[in-house]
């Protein structure tokens, strides 16, 4: 099972000063900042997934790339732009969720293939259109929105045009067929049609909102007509606990930002380990916390007191040595700062678990070895993204463990 990480220009600065919370004066982001595969000892993924809509933008607005970045990507090619090590594949797609509200995709198969070829992708997903709904038909006859089926059929027509163009051009980009559906049966029909068109790699889209049981039901239906040489990719799906089931039903790869984004988007599962996830220690910057800034401007909180508490909290955390005494000091400082920040929710009981186990002390990834407790502090993009990189390394280790178990069982 291979894991692809969707790109959203997530980099960190190797020269960032954690003590002063400052970037180096000479830093040039595009030249100096590093991707996860450069920060960690080993790439935490088998490939990256780059969406055309992230690079070029869509009807919703500009993408994540500046004009200069887009030009560099097209000029240098995806391998050089991302400084990918040997063996890490570049997979392209359209980013259909960015134009989901449009009646038809705002990009043609020719434009899609042009993008893949110009940027030097190893493989690329055909142009698709996400289906809005889903029905497993378990309750008998269900009224289906005609738009669901129209989008599924449109996706197949676009896939037919895409592979015809790729074959006619003798394109170096391996075509990956996009399969959309709104039920197990329609996903199976889409995969059968794509196989008949000549696709040997097929990406199943639109499954992110589905429950795990619904995904498995779709895969079981698809598997009944799957050719031995056909490889299935799940777009935007992790579900690590179900990977064995997915693999048994023909899935060979998936992509997801979940492990990375949980580092700073999840309420609780911020710092991952092989056995569980921990709450990160929230120490927001005084000048970066909207609630605290409003309180200071209103005069209900002293700015001097807030800055002093912030510094004392960070000082206590950096002095943490795992002992009960230092744990108590940290909790006291976190409690005081949480009160000053007027937090709507207290995380103190969770902080006690995080500090008691101190998972960063046992972690062997380069991020934790170099930065220690800084990785466990919820504060600013440099710490939060490094924690996300750590989470990716944990996911990769879990995937390797699953592969090892499958080999042993076999």
CA distance 199 to 71: 31
* pLDDT tens-digit readout, 23-40: 999 999 888 999 999 999
Q: Delineate the domains of the chain, giving CATH numbers in brackets.
A: 46-256 (3.20.20.105), 276-384 (no CATH)
Catalytic residue among 33, 46, 128, 255: 255
Predicted confidence (pLDDT) at residue 408 exceeds the cutoff of 70? no
* Burial tier of 122 (Cβ tally within 10 Å: 0-12, 13-18, 19+): middle
Residue 267 designated active-site: no
pLDDT at position 288: 86
pLDDT at position 343: 86
Over range 58-77, report the average pLDDT.
86
pLDDT at position 96: 92
Predicted confidence (pLDDT) at residue 94 exceeds the cutoff of 70? yes
* pLDDT tens-digit readout, 267-295: 999 999 999 999 999 999 998 888 899 99
pLDDT at position 402: 76
pLDDT at position 403: 67
Percent of the chain scored above 90 by pLDDT?
86
Predicted confidence (pLDDT) at residue 406 exceeds the cutoff of 70? no
pLDDT at position 410: 53
Residue 255 designated active-site: yes
14: which 2 tokens? 């190797």
Contact between 316 and 329 (Cβ < 8 Å)? yes
Over range 324-349, report the average pLDDT.
95
Helix (H) or strand (E) holding 329: helix 324-340
Q: Which of 63-67, 135-139, 256-260, 349-353 is least confident?
A: 135-139
Over range 187-203, report the average pLDDT.
98
Catalytic residue among 10, 46, 93, 128: 93
SS3 assignment, position 243: helix
Q: Which of 10-14, 334-338, 364-368, 405-409 is least confident?
A: 405-409
* pLDDT tens-digit readout, 96-123: 988 999 999 999 999 999 999 999 999 9
DSSP string spanning 50-93? EEHHHHH-BTTB--SS-HHHHHHHHHH-HHHHTTPPTT-EEEEE
């Amino acid at each position: 099972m291979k894991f692809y990480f969707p790109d959203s220009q997530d980099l960190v600065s190797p020269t960032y000063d954690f003590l002063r919370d400052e970037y180096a004066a000479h830093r040039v982001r595009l030249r100096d900042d590093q991707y996860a595969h450069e920060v960690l000892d080993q790439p935490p993924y088998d490939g990256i997934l780059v969406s055309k809509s992230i690079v070029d933008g869509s009807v919703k607005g500009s993408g994540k790339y500046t004009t200069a970045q887009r030009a560099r990507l097209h000029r240098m090619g995806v391998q050089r732009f991302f400084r990918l090590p040997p063996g890490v594949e570049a997979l392209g797609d359209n980013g259909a969720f960015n134009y989901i509200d449009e009646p038809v995709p705002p990009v043609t198969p020719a434009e899609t293939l042009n993008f893949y070829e110009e940027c030097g992708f190893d493989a690329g997903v055909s142009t698709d259109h996400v289906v809005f709904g889903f029905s497993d038909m378990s309750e008998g006859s269900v009224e289906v929105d005609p738009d669901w089926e129209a989008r599924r059929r449109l996706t197949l027509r676009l896939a037919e045009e895409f592979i015809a163009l790729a074959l006619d051009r003798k394109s170096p980009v391996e075509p990956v067929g996009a399969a959309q559906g709104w039920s197990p049966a329609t996903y199976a029909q889409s995969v059968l049609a794509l196989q008949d068109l000549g696709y040997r790699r097929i990406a199943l889209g639109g499954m992110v909102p589905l429950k795990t049981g619904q995904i498995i039901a779709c895969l079981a239906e698809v598997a009944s007509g799957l050719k031995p040489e056909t490889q299935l990719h799940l777009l935007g799906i992790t579900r690590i606990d179900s990977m064995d089931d997915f693999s048994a039903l023909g899935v060979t790869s998936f992509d997801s930002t979940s492990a990375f984004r949980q580092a700073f988007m999840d309420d609780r599962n911020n710092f991952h380990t092989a056995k569980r996830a921990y709450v990160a220690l929230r120490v927001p910057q005084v000048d970066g916390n909207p609630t605290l800034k409003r309180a200071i401007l209103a005069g209900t909180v002293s700015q001097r007191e807030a800055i002093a508490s912030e510094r004392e909290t960070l000082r206590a955390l950096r002095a943490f040595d795992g002992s009960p005494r230092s744990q108590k000091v940290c909790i006291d400082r976190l409690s005081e700062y949480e009160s000053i920040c007027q937090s709507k929710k207290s995380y103190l009981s969770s902080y006690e678990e995080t500090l008691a186990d101190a998972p960063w002390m046992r972690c062997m990834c380069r991020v934790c070895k170099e930065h220690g407790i800084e990785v466990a502090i919820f504060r600013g993009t440099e710490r939060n993204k490094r924690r996300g990189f750590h989470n990716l390394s944990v996911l990769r280790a879990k995937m390797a463990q699953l592969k090892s178990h499958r080999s042993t069982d076999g």
